[in-house]
Chain A
Amino acid sequence: MGIAERVKSIVVEQLGVDEEEVKTEASFTEDLGADSLDIVELVMAFEEEFGIEIPDEEAEKIATVRDAIDYIEAHKQEA
């Protein structure tokens, strides 16, 4: 599974939404109904899945599924 698929499957599991709702451009809060706790849980799930650490100031910028994929792609390569 590629990074995008893994990100989407985490979003589906954490937010309890349907797979077809999780479009690349979808906003976690506006389109997928996430609240601040959901975002924290999502970020922690990404950190666990990809073995990276996402600092708070970076996590704040992750608003859409694409933001998450981009961040993870950029930072996984560094490792």
Chain B
Amino acid sequence: MNLFDLTGEIALVTGASRGIGRAIAETLGQYGATVIGTATSEAGATAISEYLAQAGIKGEGRVLNVADPTSVEAFMAALSTNHGAATILVNNAGITRDNLLMRMKDEDWDAIIATNLTSVFRMSKACMRGMMKAKKGRIISISSVVGSMGNAGQANYAAAKAGLVGFSKSLAREVGSRNITVNVVAPGFIDTDMTRELNEAQRNAMLAGIPLGRLGQAQEIANTVLFLASPAGSYITGETLHVNGGMLMV
């Protein structure tokens, strides 16, 4: 038996049009899951459908705004009709609205909490009945090293990312008896569009703090999510896996 086999699972990955979310969607699909990837725009959803089809993965891209209860409700209804209930939920969608606290507006705070934290509550709740009925489920939320070590200019983002950890521990206790695990993956600095914009000096300063001496790849986060979603990770719940090249050892 393949320890990472996800055949027959239905994986819902939010924010799957690019970066870490895309790597997660492709990886879960390669290991046999049907993948429903979400994006906030039609163009994003179409792009997801295309890359899934190209890789020969069952599933599709769909539009979903995780911060909007109406959008979540419509999406969940369509999911249940077209594919059945999700057995794997990856809460990956997220945004940043960085600013020093003294300059941070209420709307910057509220947008981050709504999209990065409240969405996880809402999506997890929406998937819960299906998982309870199936007596199995995996909920994996993508946090950040910033949630554990803080980062100047990201008080809102750090608060939401740390909030995921307490949320997941509580839910893990609630639903453990139903064979549902709830975990968090906390990436460090990953090679994405955002980190590619840094200049040489910023980049070197960042790398100096990372024992492995390089940025992480989106694929390395996806591998960790795969581990938690698969039979290989079956006895892990309420845990946060830090994937950061050693820049923070918790």
Contact = CB atoms under 8 A, between A and B. Distances in A.
A37 B129 contact: no
Interface string B170-189: 00001101100000000000
Q: How large is the interface on B (under 10, 10 to 19, 20 to 34, 35 or more residues)?
A: under 10
- For the residues of A in contact with B, the DSSP-based class is helix
Contacts, number: 9
Contacts of B178: 37
Nearest to B133: A41
Nearest to B175: A37
- For the residues of B in contact with A, the DSSP-based class is helix
Contacts of A37: 132, 174-175, 177-178
Contacts of B177: 35, 37
Interface string B115-151: 0000000000000010010000000000000000000
A17 interface: no
A52 interface: no
9 contacts: A35-B177, A37-B132, A37-B174, A37-B175, A37-B177, A37-B178, A41-B129, A41-B132, A44-B129
Given A35-B177, A44-B129, 7 more contacts: A37-B132, A37-B174, A37-B175, A37-B177, A37-B178, A41-B129, A41-B132
What 8 A-B pairs are tightest by C-beta distance, nearest first?
A41-B132, A37-B178, A37-B177, A35-B177, A37-B132, A37-B175, A37-B174, A44-B129
